[in-house]
Amino acid sequence: MAFSFLAREAGRVHVCGHRGYSLLYPENTLPAFEAAKAAGATTVEIDVVLTADGEPIVLHDLTVDRTTNGHGFAADLSLEQIRRLDAGGRFHPTFAGTKVPTVAEALDWAKADNMGVVLEIKEAERPDIAVDRVAALLRTTRTADRVIVISFDHVMLKRAVERHPGLRTEAITHARHADLVGVLRACSANSVSIELDMFSPDDAKALHQAGCSNRVHVPRPDVLAQYWRGGRDPLPELVQWIADGLIDTVSGDDVPFIAMLVKRAGRAG
């Protein structure tokens, strides 16, 4: 049976580690993915760009500067050059020597550990090629059943589905649209990713009636603390929405925290 991102089909609300367990582990690395699963995640969100030689790698930024000890655009570096970089030591010395993973490695890990993958195309210069390379990897690794490809670029998503029928896609939006289902239909997407402050129960019901799923990104506790200090708490309402089956995936950097919310709602499966 294919991995389902719809809670009603999966029998649970998914917990998604944003770039893995990125709060306490170097983002977009295998240690972060493994830690996310150990903390209760059933899916991980990863970011994809291409190397100079066209290899899809797991990296959020277009450059390697922020997360590694290297410098420059990934698109100007070969896979061999990127594999020589340290993607963990800058986060914490404990993780020194951690490598930037290839997408193939991330998919192999997900298959072996029965995890879902929310795969964001971050490649800016060659996005269509990135999609084609990812689609080829999904076939060779036999992981298409557990991956959903996501992007802010809805036009690119539409082209992706046209070239690769059956590819599951998710449109990212940071706004509340007048016709959210229409937005997804326009780009042939199966799901939407939305921030907590843009979530609406009515939109969720419309999405589910159309057979579409949603992924709601929840801020970290240190960000939510701003609400708590002001005497406001969005969590009881969020937990109720999860309990009511309105949310399919809860995503965030602090995996134990969002796993706790899903468990509190009685939707951990």
Query: Which of the residues are catalytic?
Result: 18, 60
Residue 28 to residues 22, 44, 102, 148, 163: CA-CA distances in angstroms?
A: 8, 9, 10, 16, 27
